[in-house]
Amino acid sequence: MKTSSTSFKVACLFAIAGLSMGIGMAASQDHTLMPAHAHLNLLGWVSLFLFGVFYRLHPALETSRLAMTQIVVWSVGTAFLTVAVAALHLGHAAFEPVAAVSALLLLGSLGLFSVLVFRSGKLPQPAARVMTAAE
């Protein structure tokens, strides 16, 4: 599967979970999990969707193993960080190491993404689309 499509699909799954969590918090008037909700939406929905846009704009990266690794590591890091942040705010201090490792996964993934962004100027650009009279 293309990296952009993977990003968009996983981002939608995170958004469904994040919005459901928000609705649950609003309905119960218990905002304890607000930091987990915010991280899930911003890392899982907004950031992942933006990665997808970047990959869609750079077709040479659509089949890149490095780009796919970046997306997978980001998704795993987001899932574990969300669970750890939620657990910590519910008073389970034992989740501290999970939060630390997932934060490092996210940092590593962003490092990888930064390398791809900095290198992207050298990538072959897609051919310009020529409009025909029928269009």
Q: Which residues bind ligand HEM (CB under 6 A)?
A: 19, 22-23, 25-26, 31, 34, 37-38, 41-42, 45-46
Coil, helix or strand at residue 79: helix
Could you tell me which residues come within 8 angstroms of residue 14 by beta carbon, excluding any fewer than 6 positions away?
A: 40, 41, 43, 44, 45, 48, 75, 78
| Distance between CA atoms of residues 101 and 30, nearest Å | 28
Smallest gap from Cβ 24 to ligand HEM, in A, equals: 8
Q: Which is nearer to ligand HEM, 41 or 78 (CB)?
A: 41
Beta-carbon-side half-sphere exposure of residue 24 (alpha carbons within 13 Å)? 11
Nearest approach in angstroms of CB 74 to ligand HEM is 16
Encode burial over 52-78: b for 16+ CB neighbours within 10 A, e otherwise. bebbbebeebbebeebbebbebbbebb
Q: Which is nearer to ligand HEM, 49 or 69 (CB)?
A: 49
Q: Which residue is nearest to ligand HEM (CB)?
A: 22
**CB of 125 vs ligand HEM, minimal distance in Å:** 31
**Residue 31 or 92 with smaller CB distance to ligand HEM:** 31
* Least CB distance to ligand HEM at residue 3 (A): 21
Instruction: Return the number of the residue (19 or 112) whose C-beta is nearest ligand HEM.
Output: 19
